[in-house]
């Protein structure tokens, strides 16, 4: 079990000790109702005030704005400009899940032609095929499959059940109406500091590569199809599906259960509400939502056309009524 003094923690998570004993030892992060002498808690908003008063922790991190709420209640207080970011940093310091006694788990099969970097951890029952590259410091959890011609950068986190480089969903009909599979011979390129949640599937490119850029974070149960390109620092929530050859810009936030149609292009700095359907390009940064009951396609085209012109229709109606 790791122990750190409050003095050490204030350096590690960019806080300052405004009250208390800098030599006090901390070994865990806990909720207020489970706090102990050696744990630290976070006070992130006034909605937690009653819980804090009911179960005051020995040590706590908060912001300058919220400090008055806990100043007379908590013995040791660290103040951070961004408490939630401090929480993220401390969660990594105290996480037991990132430690393994062995670099390669039981039952894992790794091709001789795979290139594995330094300090890479690979869990149990993983399959890593030929011509795969894995960068330094990457953590791969249990039951992960990485197919040939895939590359993963440095300091990535790949959760259990992830499949990287699977065949894309591409088919053509022959003269008899039967489906003929299009073999995808491309690969997948995952850059540095990418986090991929459990059971997410990333298909290989048809000829080129599917691209996941630096700093992208992907939740559980996300599907990314062939030849998709996702730019830097974009976040994608669970159960989102991105169809083939779509391009997602940098610093986007895509809510859960979003569907993005094939070949769509999404600008940088776009936020998309959960359950939205993106069926055309988003050319400008902003906050977008789009949900609607299922209709026949012909009716939907009529309705969507009217919705896109609703402002003009209302203005014309007002003019008509006024005249």
The catalytic residue positions are 226
Who contacts 304 (Cβ-Cβ below 8 Å, separation ≥6)? none
Do 206 and 184 form a contact (C-beta atoms < 8 A)?
yes
End-to-end CA distance of the chain: 78
Distance CA 206, CA 187 (A): 8
CB 30 within 8 A of CB 8: no
Q: What is the DSSP string of 248-302?
A: E-TT-EE-TT-EE-TT-EE-SSEEE-TT-EE-S-B-S-EEE--------HHHHHH
What single-letter DSSP state applies at residue 34?
G
DSSP string, 199-246: T-EEEPPSSSEEEE-TT-EE-TT-EE-TT-EE-TT-EE-TT-EE-TT-
């Amino acid at each position: 079990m790791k122990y750190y003094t409050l003095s050490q923690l204030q350096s590690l998570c960019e806080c300052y000790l405004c009250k208390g004993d800098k030599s006090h030892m901390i070994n865990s992060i806990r909720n207020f109702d489970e706090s102990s002498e050696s744990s630290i808690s976070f006070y992130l908003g006034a909605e937690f005030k009653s819980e804090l008063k009911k179960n005051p922790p020995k040590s706590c991190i908060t912001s300058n704005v919220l400090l008055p709420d806990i100043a007379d209640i908590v013995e040791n207080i660290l103040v951070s400009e961004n408490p939630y970011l401090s929480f993220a940093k401390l969660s990594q310091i105290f996480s037991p899940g990132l430690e393994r006694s062995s670099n390669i788990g039981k039952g894992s099969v790794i091709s001789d032609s795979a290139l594995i970097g330094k300090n890479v951890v690979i869990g149990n029952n993983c399959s890593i095929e030929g011509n795969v590259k894995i960068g330094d410091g990457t953590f791969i959890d249990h039951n992960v499959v990485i197919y040939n011609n895939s590359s993963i950068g440095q300091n990535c986190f790949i959760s259990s059940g992830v499949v990287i480089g699977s065949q894309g969903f591409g088919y053509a009909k022959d003269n008899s109406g039967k489906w003929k599979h299009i073999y995808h011979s491309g690969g997948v390129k995952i850059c540095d500091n990418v986090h991929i949640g459990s059971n997410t599937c990333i298909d290989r490119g048809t000829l080129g590569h599917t691209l996941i850029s630096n700093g992208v974070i992907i939740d559980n149960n996300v599907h990314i199809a062939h030849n998709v390109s996702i730019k830097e620092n974009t976040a994608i929530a669970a159960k989102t599906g991105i169809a083939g050859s779509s391009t997602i810009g940098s610093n986007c936030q895509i809510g859960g259960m979003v569907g993005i149609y094939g070949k769509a292009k999404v600008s940088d700095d776009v936020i998309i509400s959960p359950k939205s359907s993106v069926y055309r390009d988003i050319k400008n940064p902003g906050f977008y939502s789009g949900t609607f009951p299922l209709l026949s396609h012909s009716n939907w085209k009529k309705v969507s056309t009217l919705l896109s012109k609703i402002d003009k229709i209302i203005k014309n109606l007002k003019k008509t009524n006024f005249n």
